[in-house]
Amino acid sequence: YTEQGSVTVTVTYKKLDDENISLRFSIRDTGIGIKKEDIGKLTSAFERIEEERNRTVEGTGLGMNITTRLLDLMDSKLEVESVYGEGSTFAFEVKQKVINWESIGDYKEALKRSIASMDRYHESFRASDANILVVDDTPMNLVVFRSLVKQTRVKVDAAGSGLECLDLIKKKKYDLIFLDHRMPGPDGMVTLSRMRSSDDHLNTDTPVVVLTANAVSGAKEEYIRAGFADYLGKPIHSDELEEMMIRFLPEEKVLIVTDDMIEAETLTEDKEVSPKDTEQKNDPEDGDESNGDAIIEKLREISILDVDAGIEHCGSADGYIEAIKIYQETISENYAAIKKFYKEKDIKNYTVKVHALKSSSRIIGAEHLGNAAAKLEEAGDKNDIETIEAETKNLLEEYEVLGMMLSGI
């Protein structure tokens, strides 16, 4: 119910005795507020306050009822204060036993130190003699894929369509192929079918893994029946990707990387770096690393982006920055295409485009936009014209706003 403004969570306490405190949680929002006469209805199961005003808000009306029952089990109760049209404050107190009265200090700094001390990511294997092909119609997805496998030293070729894939497999033998399911032209299913029904290429026995953003229950069995070796959900997680590559790449081409190997290599690198080299690396005027940090900090100011999720999806901060640049560069073209297909009522191509937007938005951490695109993709699949008519304008507006925010980075 808080479409703009803020939600503030505050935790305080008061000492009850030598062993216990009363721990108070307060959640304040700047939402729509509640009329005094409606506050008593809050905890009734399935009761919806101001049904007409809040018709766009999903939910079954059980949350507050469950909350009050849980608090009752803890000998507590829910306190509600609200000003209609301005916002509400919900609060409760629970008795807690104290294990240690010593102050924990600055937990934010402690968390930063803890994260900094964690083992840095390193690749789980290397396969410098292996060749793989990744097929995806979204350029940003190809960039992200390359970033995720960069440290494995695998050689990567990329194709932007099923037709390009069918052409490349005639020219080169690959150890593994990753093939996107949903593409314009021949999609992943059709492309694989053409591969398997022909021996006029060099990859008749190459395992093919499907890339899909629709990893629903039963999907794996469907893809296996179609002839895929396995499937990988989008956004791709590096650990799942590496595990799959280890499983399907020829065993003789895969070198498993251990912590001892990384430590030995690090020691060797440290010995080879001269003081002069160190000075050059740490020189802020050199700037690539500090410039990257500055870009990440600017991106963190965009509230609709989950930067940490984006970095995880792209494998590194550098990979994320590159993905953001490509995303921003393609907004104008993709926006125009979605709008064109919508106006022409070309539901098939409209659905393909919002599918691509769903995938790329989730990769960069624009989860809300990605979910909005997912809803319209589902509507396109079901030929749900009513939902498409109702939601496309909002999708395009949010897409445009994000593009404006990214243009200043």
- Give the whole-angstrom CA distance, residue 318 versus residue 98: 44
- Cα angle value 123/313/120 (rounded, 5°): 40
Which has the closest alpha carbon to 181: 249, 245, 243, 234? 234
State which H helix or E strand residue 97 sits in.
strand 87-97
pLDDT digits (tens, 9 = 90+) for 152-201: 999 999 999 999 999 999 999 999 999 999 888 899 999 999 999 999 99
Is the predicted pLDDT of residue 117 greater than 90, yes or no? no
b/e per residue 365-378 (b: at least 16 CB within 10 A)? bbeebbebbbbbbb
Q: How many residues does the chain have?
A: 409
**Is residue 208 within 8 Å of 200, Cβ to Cβ?**
no
pLDDT digits (tens, 9 = 90+) for 296-349: 988 998 888 999 989 888 888 888 999 999 999 999 999 999 999 999 999 999
Share of residues in the chain with pLDDT > 90 (%): 54
Is the predicted pLDDT of residue 254 greater than 80, yes or no? yes
End-to-end CA distance of the chain: 31
